[in-house]
Amino acid sequence: MKAKRSLINLAFGLISQGLIIALGILIPRLLLVNFGSEVNGLLSSIGQIIIYMSLLEAGVGAASLQALYKHVAGSSKENINSILSATSSYYKKTGIYYFICIILLSVIYPLFIDSSIDKMTIMFVILVTGMGGAINFYFQGTFKVFLVAEGKSYIDTSITTLINIVISGLKIIFILKGYNIIAIQTTHFVLMIVQIIIYQIYMKRNYKWLDLKVKPNFDAISQKKSVMVHQISYLIFNNTDVLILTIFTNLKVVSVYVLYNMLFSVLDKVISTVNSSVTFALGQTFHEGKEKFISLYNAYEVFFMSFVFSLFTVAYIFILPFMELYTSGIKDINYIDFWIPTLFVIIKLLVNARATSNNVINIAGHFKKTQNRAILECIINLVFSITLVQFLGIYGVLLGTIAALLYRSIDIVLYANKKILERNAWMTLRRWLTNIVIFSLIVAAAKTVNIYPTSYVTTIMSAILVLAISAVIFVVVNALLDREVYHYTKDIIVKVVQKQKRKKAIST
């Protein structure tokens, strides 16, 4: 059942990400051409600030997930309801706080931003962009947490994908028709209401036993404050750079950063989809036995790391050719820079390749025990980024993030292995080093071949070919070095195939 749900989550997630990615890349290009870099930078800056407001959630989601895994595995409906009741109580308060913050932001932000865009326009853009988040927390946050714990994140993925496709389609039409930026952003708010209605219908039809009015078990999610510290750290790495660049540079520089980040974030979303599709299985297995969990975890770490490195190998090779095509005709600032993608790839590898170890910490519920480490990570990032941006601009914020990530990524790997898995961290570090060597060799080989496609079609086709070759190399080399993981994974695949054959034989 776990393997089947993981595959369904993965399939739905990758298909949805493919559609969202295609639309997500097209819209910024249309915004640049029709409105210029300043509007693109403004929307990105507002978006990043609004993301910070998710801190109002105060770690409720992650704490609830950790508490739910055990009871979902044991099918304890009474305990599930009490945890979700507590979760719902917090989320409704969050929705109200979020609404108030959006109002305040819409009034304050236009007063401090240096822009030629009309201040009233900025205010209304903030309002219509941010209100969707408020109603999201208030009405559907609890249901999302439960579906992830159940291993049915594909339901959330399907609903979200459908809404995002419609939103993106309407935005494209509005841009081409010449509508103003307020009308374009309003589509998001309207369709968020539609999404809530769909969620309500699905949950009432499929989970009639859910009761959010029972006595809430607040103790079950008592680690939410410690989780929030970790969320602050995560948000700093993903969003502080834009805020610092907005304050210390200008919106055109922000636009350059955002375009590179957008393209790399495409891969982040794909990786996150793969990661989340199996996290519930890890979470439930953790409570079924340590030996069983470690066997599953080792296989997950080896192949997930191979997947991450293969994706960013291809990204590094093709990012500049793609960026030249994407920004052709945009003359208000230079978007082509060798060092920016290099620094971005280092950041993304440090963030994503450590995800396996970080999942162990989250599943084990060691939020409070590691919160001081997360705080130090934030301090390093802020101090280095704010200092270096004065001298190095966009490079400064990227180097500041790398400095903090080098500390925290090593710390996470050491902590997860020593404190939770109770083993030497060399096993994970060796996998890191192996993949770094493979990455370097493939990149060096690509330079000798001089891959430089000149159209979107040839870029995409070349990238797919290189990805296929790279993925095979990463998987084969890692499997050869971890023979025990190879045999474990092979046995699981054989069992799943045989089970499906038996089902077909019975049905016929």
Of 20-29, 93-102, 150-159, 240-249, give the lowest mean pLDDT range: 20-29
> Do 244 and 363 reside in the same domain of the chain?
yes
> Do 291 and 420 reside in the same domain of the chain?
yes
Q: Is the pLDDT of residue 4 over 60?
A: no
Residue 508 lies in a domain: no
The pLDDT score that the predictor gives to residue 219 is 78
The pLDDT score that the predictor gives to residue 457 is 83
pLDDT tens digits for 139-193? 777 888 888 777 777 787 778 778 878 888 888 888 888 888 888 888 878 888 8
Q: Output 468 or 52, whichever has higher pLDDT.
A: 468
Q: Is the pLDDT of residue 423 over 80?
A: yes
Q: Residue 68 in 3-state DSSP?
A: helix
Cβ 176 vs Cβ 35: under 8 Å: no
**Mind giving me the DSSP string for 220-257?**
GGTTHHHHHHHHHHHHIIIIIHHHHHHHHS-HHHHHHH
Q: Is the pLDDT of residue 508 over 70?
A: no
Most confident range (mean pLDDT) of 26-30, 213-217, 295-299 is: 295-299
Confidence grade of residue 127 (pLDDT, cut at 50, 70, 90): confident
pLDDT tens digits for 65-115? 777 777 666 567 888 888 888 888 877 887 788 888 888 888 888 887 767
Q: Is the pLDDT of residue 233 over 70?
A: no
Distance, in Å, from the CA atom of 323 to the CA atom of 207, rounded to the nearest integer, reads 46
Q: Tell me, what DSSP letter sits at residue 332?
A: S
> Do 305 and 161 reside in the same domain of the chain?
no
The pLDDT score that the predictor gives to residue 497 is 72
> Do 140 and 231 reside in the same domain of the chain?
no
Average pLDDT over residues 429-434: 94
> Do 39 and 181 reside in the same domain of the chain?
yes
The stretches of 287-393 forming alpha helices (DSSP H) are: 290-326, 339-353, 355-364, 371-392
Structural domain count of the chain: 2
**What would the two tokens of residue 158 be?**
């399907």
Confidence grade of residue 506 (pLDDT, cut at 50, 70, 90): low
> Do 183 and 313 reside in the same domain of the chain?
no
pLDDT tens digits for 334-368? 788 889 999 999 999 998 888 889 888 888 888 77
User: What pTM was estimated for this model as a whole?
Assistant: 0.70
The pLDDT score that the predictor gives to residue 54 is 64
Q: Output 453 or 171, whichever has higher pLDDT.
A: 171
> Do 71 and 5 reside in the same domain of the chain?
yes
> Do 218 and 232 reside in the same domain of the chain?
no
Residue 143 lies in a domain: yes
Residue 170 lies in a domain: yes
Q: Which residues of 273-290 are buried (b: 16+ CB within 10 A; e: fewer)?
A: bbbbbbbbbbbbbbeeee
How far, in whole angstroms, is CA 89 from its chain's centroid? Answer: 26
In one-letter notation, the amino acid at residue 36 is: G
Q: Output 431 or 216, whichever has higher pLDDT.
A: 431
> Do 317 and 345 reside in the same domain of the chain?
yes
Residues in CB range of 162: below 8 A, 6 or more apart? 198
User: Across the chain, what does the average pLDDT equal?
Assistant: 81
Residue where a domain stops, chosen among 222, 239, 259: 222
**What would the two tokens of residue 235 be?**
């948000």
Distance, in Å, from the CA atom of 427 to the CA atom of 305, rounded to the nearest integer, reads 13
Distance, in Å, from the CA atom of 200 to the CA atom of 204, rounded to the nearest integer, reads 6
The domain in which residue 352 lies consists of: 226-483
Q: Is the pLDDT of residue 50 over 70?
A: yes
